[in-house]
Chain A
């Protein structure tokens, strides 16, 4: 058995590496203020999971309200206190929950939790580097993220409630404490939290870019990089170019809120008070916000696609189909993502000509996306598919990426957007295409690289159960929302009982909530599996998935510098699976080319 051979090799590595540790770690430098990328990756993951639990739990609470509006649920009073007197949710709290759910899922879970975890874990290990270019900055990046998470969680407990103006925090609603309670101290903390978050994200991204460009091992040319690394690199570039714009938007909002400026405010009377602000425009904020906001979608999605490329190729035991096209489509998507932000603003009253331009650029994204989807499917073709839980989630991702991407063709078309803008159709679209796809990518990543992170294996059967419950309930939650959206139901409505025309939709709302609660509870299986396996799972062999990439040549036990002895040299691309002329169905990147063997 090959595995035993690897175990054996691993034992030797284990013996060797002790001479390699140059300093002794104490608890603080090892677990808390670590500068080792592997530990920082785990810190990002655990923090992201913690925030994810909060975010998902919030969605279950507001789904209760949506299915049975105005009914009393004691659980709501338990968790929301004065915001749910007698167990009936307050409308302000409903808006706060959807706002914080969105913020947490988009930024804390799917940006920091996903990119932070896997860029940190995999970039040095897969390009063959001892660590990130700057371990210190890497640590700082995590601690900015941790601080921003703390501030965001603290904001849930302020007297006037957390930010409630939607995760897009459009002013004037978010700028004026008189407009809603959540725009008071809660919004201030939201802005502080996001500022810290952006600072951390920028430091992290710069570090990723420098590491990929400069610290590749001998032989690791750009065209031999695994697609994960391509995805992380392009994601980091997107972050560096777009997050500063959100930071400036947030700073101007801080000025408007606290220092009497009028960047976004003009001619406003709120709560009986005439404001003196004049000359600003909320549309400016929308432009700045979405200039980040749209690339942000791909900051979330690309790492998940990168992980999927790796997982699908490894577990189909086939090369990823069309490597160059995959890289090209990542680059094309990234470029286009900067010139499509206006499709979020078709009905803001911007010049109709601009609407046409943004329709054109937006629908162009469907082309590289289609290439990716077809290439994934062709990778499965004539494969020898091994259904690990990671593989299941990756196939799930391809399915949701296709399902959600297709509805983008409707929403990206300015003419069609008029009547479905801000309805549940949009909620369905973006949850499927970026929410589900990204979270599936994240699950795939955790299942696949758990042995690399913790040196132990996760339980397979629990993984299967977790996948199927999650997959079925995910479609069960979001597929019916297309229909409520087409029926004209606006999003962010506390209740649709005020409109008799929507009475017919209530049954669908109940179905959605059932799936949401079921799907939420199913995540407990994952959490249990994760923590149980961390301590009690079977010990991992060095290369459990018989994978080609470099991280599996590093010893199971984590050491500073990743490899005892010299950094391995790379001789081929990462996708020589089932290559004719080789006995095994995988050929690690470190294997030299045979005489007369064609590099890919």
Chain B
């Protein structure tokens, strides 16, 4: 049945096209001027469309900024996240300003200088001073952004620690995350994919005494206010540990260990009390109720952000930020490597 329908649609499409061709040919014959020649009327129409588009572009930009800003990520939950957001805001202000200055000029000129047979363009081939200005001004603005950006980058990547960071290994594989806490000594035992055997699923070296107190978990709990140093490994392909709520990301590369450190500053419970987050959750739950899905409560998440295979889109882990006591209690419940193997 669908085959016949497709055939009929195809035949009709071809017939329509043939008719259209006839109409075009007849109408272009009927017209005096050559169809391709641009008339003053065309210039006028297109010029006005350009102006309209320019206005529409700016209006829709502000509409989107207004309408969609609530659905952006909520406030950062890490110490460097605030610095990140400040840099982002300033950079955004710079580029939106440039956008709002340059685009209207482009479309305004397109409209203003729309052609006419009675006019001649002005022969104006160059102006060194003008060109100098628009080389130097962007250079200065960029210099400021570069210096600001580099300072932030350096603060994020080389944090100064007032207390020893908590060491956690994040182990990626198709398509799940596993965490390993460094235990009492805060030192991870040696591990390598080659040592994977039976229950030793992430290849911890059982002969390394530093590793016997390590704890392997399927969820990350972090004490608020304490720096955490993540060490990333991968078992198979490149993954990327993406913590959008903490403004953090680092690839997990097989054959090497990568590092990223941040300090969580807001507990999950506090975040759930935040007015903005509550409004967000309410909106999400309204959508979910309409679709008949279970209700959602706000959680920090770890996502995979480097294409890693068929279930890449669903490689996630829950992150809980809590008080030092809650964290200690949770960690005590977890078994050590020595106990499990």
Contact = CB atoms under 8 A, between A and B. Distances in A.
A352 interface: yes
A385 B115 contact: yes
Interface in B243-262: 244-245, 247-251, 253-256, 258-259
Contact of A501 (B88, B105, B109, B301): B301
B26 to A, nearest CB: 12
Interface stretch (A187-195, A244-252, A475-483): A475-483
Nearest to A456: B36
Given A359-B149, A503-B287, A349 B250 contact: yes
A322 interface: yes
A166 B237 CA distance: 13
Contact of A319 (B115, B124, B287): B124
Contacts of A381: 109, 113, 124
Contact of B131 (A322, A348, A409, A410): A322
A323 interface: yes
A366 interface: yes
Interface residues of A, number: 127
A385 B258 contact: no
B228 interface: no
A86 interface: no
B21 A415 contact: no
B106 interface: yes
Given A170-B238, A385-B110, A367 B139 contact: yes
B82 interface: no
B35 interface: yes
Contact of A490 (B24, B68, B193, B305): B305
Contact of B123 (A486, A496, A505, A580): A580
Contacts of B238: 170, 172-173, 282
Interface stretch (A110-118, A196-204, A398-406): A398-406
B242 A490 contact: yes
A217 interface: no
A382 B115 CA distance: 10
Given A347-B250, A480-B64, A180 B255 contact: no
Contact of B149 (A171, A269, A413, A544): A413
A590 interface: no
Contact of A269 (B38, B236, B311): B236
B72 interface: yes
Nearest to A490: B305
Contacts of A458: 36
Contacts of A459: 24, 35-36
B312 A95 contact: yes
A114 B146 CA distance: 34
Interface residues of B, number: 119
Given A367-B139, A387-B43, A355 B153 contact: yes
Contacts of A398: 106
A267 B256 CA distance: 9
A553 B287 CA distance: 64
Interface of A: 3, 74, 90-92, 95, 165-166, 170-173, 176, 179-180, 265-270, 274, 278-283, 316-319, 321-325, 347-349, 352, 355-356, 359-360, 363-364, 366-367, 370-371, 373-375, 377-378, 380-388, 392, 395, 398-399, 402-403, 406-407, 409-410, 413-416, 418-419, 421-423, 457-461, 464, 468, 471-472, 475, 479-480, 483, 486-488, 490, 492-496, 498-501, 503-506, 508, 528, 532, 536, 538, 544, 575, 577-580, 585, 600
30 contacts: A95-B307, A267-B192, A267-B255, A269-B236, A316-B113, A318-B121, A322-B126, A349-B258, A359-B150, A370-B135, A371-B134, A375-B131, A384-B119, A395-B106, A399-B57, A402-B103, A406-B99, A410-B88, A419-B248, A419-B249, A421-B249, A457-B35, A459-B35, A460-B36, A487-B71, A503-B287, A505-B71, A508-B68, A577-B123, A585-B120
